[in-house]
Structure 1
Amino acid sequence: MSINLLSKALVVTTTQLTMILIAVASIFLVFIIIAIIKMYKLKSENKKLMQTNAFRDYEESGDELASGHLYGDN
């Protein structure tokens, strides 16, 4: 008798399953939208930084990244 009650408690109807799937899909959709917004913000910030004088000065100086202190070129 208890097995029969347990099996009835674990039965999920199609409507319940559909509602669960819609809720999970909605949560993932929100995460994807947030990620897309952050990507565009970072892209615009990167574009602004590329146009600043500091980046141009670095580019024109001819310094290479390999000459940094991490590589021990003292």
Structure 2
Amino acid sequence: MFNNLLSKAIIVTTTQLTMILIAVASVFLVFILIAIIKMYKLKAENKKLMETNAFKDFEESDSDIPSGHLYGDN
């Protein structure tokens, strides 16, 4: 009796399985969309920071940055 009840409880119909898979796929789709939105926001912020004067001042001040070679820098 218990074995028969347990086997009926474990059986999953194809409709139930399809609904579970759709729900899981929807959750992952939401995560992917959030990641894409964050990527574009970071890209826009990076572009804005690259256009600021602070970055340009850093590029122009080459005298503050030591050479990459330890020897032969005469």
Same fold (TM over 0.5): yes
Identity of matched residues, %:
80
Equivalent residue, structure 1, for 2:13:
13
- Structure 2: segments with no counterpart, 5+ residues: 67-74
Q: Distance in 1 between matches of 2:12 and 2:61?
A: 67
RMSD: 1.4
SS of 1:9's equivalent in the other structure is helix
**How many residues are aligned here?**
65
Kindly report structure 1 stretches of 4+ aligned residues shifted beyond 4 Å.
Answer: none
TM value normalised by structure 1: 0.83
- Structure 1: segments with no counterpart, 5+ residues: 66-74
Q: Deviations over 1:32-63 (max 9, x none)?
A: 00100000000000000000000000111124
Higher helix proportion (structure 1 or 2): 1
Q: Distance in 1 between matches of 2:54 and 2:13?
A: 62
